[in-house]
Amino acid sequence: MATRTDAPTRREQILKEAARLFAERGFHGVGVDEIGAAVGISGPGLYRHFAGKDAMLAELLVGISGQLLTGAKRRLAEADGVAPEAVLDSLIEGHIDFALDDRPLITLHDRELDRLRDSDRKLVRQLQRQYVELWVEVVREVYPALAEPTARSAVHSVFGLLNSTPHLGRPGSLPGRGATAELLHRMARGAFAAAGAAE
């Protein structure tokens, strides 16, 4: 787990601030001058690091989708011969970590997808689809009674539940990160269980 200790590069600073601003006011609602100001340089200086405003959004969205997918794949690979319930728990945990630690990205993730160039949008959608299908397989192992379309709907809905973190008040007003993570986890499991019960 290569935890970074070195200072963030300028590119990373820009991406982080851009993500925050895009999440706050929307892609079209933020000017390049604002993004520049947020990292202490001004406007066109950004073009030394990115081809354009679109490129920043693209890199953010591809990064998010890729990170989620590779994280999930890793968790799946590590859990070999483990009970499906435990694998599902691991997926949930990973998604919650992401949703709690990178709220702006979670917000962007399903909000600004249509602002991308065709090729980038296709790539992001493909990564997202793989991520979903991976969940669907695990969910159906745990709840074999679930038909595939139903399982897919259930997965999307649980994503909606987990991605509600931006609405839960600023970090600090909450009962604490751990408690929130635990609550979300229990609710996600409860939702899946209820989905798999009848059907």
Residues that bind DNA (CB under 7 A): 10, 28, 30-33, 36, 41-45, 47-49, 52-54
Instruction: Give the integer Cα–Cα distance in Å for 32 and 28.
Output: 10
- Residue among 111, 132, 120, 116 at smallest CA distance from 69: 132
> What, of a copy of itself, DNA, none, does residue 33 touch, CB below 5 to 8 Å by kind?
DNA
The distance of closest approach from Cβ of residue 1 to a copy of itself in the complex, given in angstroms and rounded to an integer, is 28
> What, of DNA, a copy of itself, none, does residue 167 touch, CB below 5 to 8 Å by kind?
a copy of itself
> What, of DNA, a copy of itself, none, does residue 160 touch, CB below 5 to 8 Å by kind?
a copy of itself
- Given the structure tokens 């959004």, which residue do they identify? 57
The distance of closest approach from Cβ of residue 143 to a copy of itself in the complex, given in angstroms and rounded to an integer, is 12
> What, of DNA, a copy of itself, none, does residue 67 touch, CB below 5 to 8 Å by kind?
none
Closest CB to a copy of itself among 79 and 174?
174
The distance of closest approach from Cβ of residue 26 to a copy of itself in the complex, given in angstroms and rounded to an integer, is 5
The distance of closest approach from Cβ of residue 116 to a copy of itself in the complex, given in angstroms and rounded to an integer, is 12
> What, of a copy of itself, DNA, none, does residue 183 touch, CB below 5 to 8 Å by kind?
a copy of itself
Complete DSSP assignment for the chain: -----SPPPHHHHHHHHHHHHHHHH-GGG--HHHHHHHTTS-GGGGGGT-S-HHHHHHHHHHHHHHHHHHHHHHHHHH-SS--HHHHHHHHHHHHHHHHHH-HHHHHHHTTSGGGS-HHHHHHHHHHHHHHHHHHHHHHHHH-TTS-HHHHHHHHHHHHHHHTTGGGS-STTTSS-HHHHHHHHHHHHHHHHHHHHH--
Contact footprint for a copy of itself (CB under 8 A) = 24-29, 110-112, 114-115, 147, 149-150, 153-154, 156-164, 167-168, 174-175, 179-180, 183-184, 186-195, 197-198
Closest CB to DNA among 36 and 196?
36
The distance of closest approach from Cβ of residue 107 to DNA in the complex, given in angstroms and rounded to an integer, is 18
